[in-house]
Amino acid sequence: MKDIPNLFGSLVFNDSVMKARLPKETYKALKNTIAAGKHLDLEVANVVANAMKDWAIEKGATHYTHWFQPMTGVTAEKHDSFISPDKDGNIIMEFSGKELVQGEPDASSFPSGGLRATFEARGYTAWDPTSYAFIKDGTLCILLPFVHIVVKH
């Protein structure tokens, strides 16, 4: 039998993991951002993203996904890899604050399936730091709200 108390929540980048892995000032800044409902500073996001990536890789993840609920009525995931090539043809594992906090889903997120011209409608995702990231099937899942913007001419 598995050690259920130690297994429960072990794949969640929750408050206790953040407190243990983030520098004290970064953790404090993140908590203040959440409490005030303000925009996350990119410098803080970079530190959080790096800690989140390192934690996820230690847990066996090689990819991350922005998991959101688009206007189609079902959840969607946009997968990307932590793996990037360096100038010598080797790989490096990286994940930036910019990649953590904002993404742009493809046109299939719209009810039309992307039949509109891209200049007429945009969908954006932004990390919700009040929802903990977690690992599912070897992928770091980052929960994001989906915002649909229509441009009228």
Task: Give me the count of residues in the chain.
Answer: 153
Identify the bridge partners of residue 135 per DSSP, sorted by sequence position: 140
Roughly what angle, to the nearest 10 degrees, separates helices 24-36 and 42-58? 110
* pLDDT tens digit sequence for 22-32: 999 999 999 99
- Which of 26-30, 65-69, 83-87, 96-100 is least confident? 65-69
pLDDT greater than 70 at residue 137: yes
Predicted structure pTM score:
0.76
**Is 133 in contact with 141 (CB distance < 8 Å)?**
yes
Host H or E run for residue 62: none
Residue 90: Cβ within 10 Å count: 7
Residue 51, SS3 per DSSP = helix
Q: Which of 6-10, 41-45, 128-132 shows the lowest mean pLDDT across its residues?
A: 6-10
Write down the mean pLDDT value for the chain.
Answer: 79
Q: Give the amino acid at 21.
A: R
* Predicted pLDDT of residue 65: 86
Question: pLDDT tens digits, residue range 120-129?
Answer: 445 555 778 8
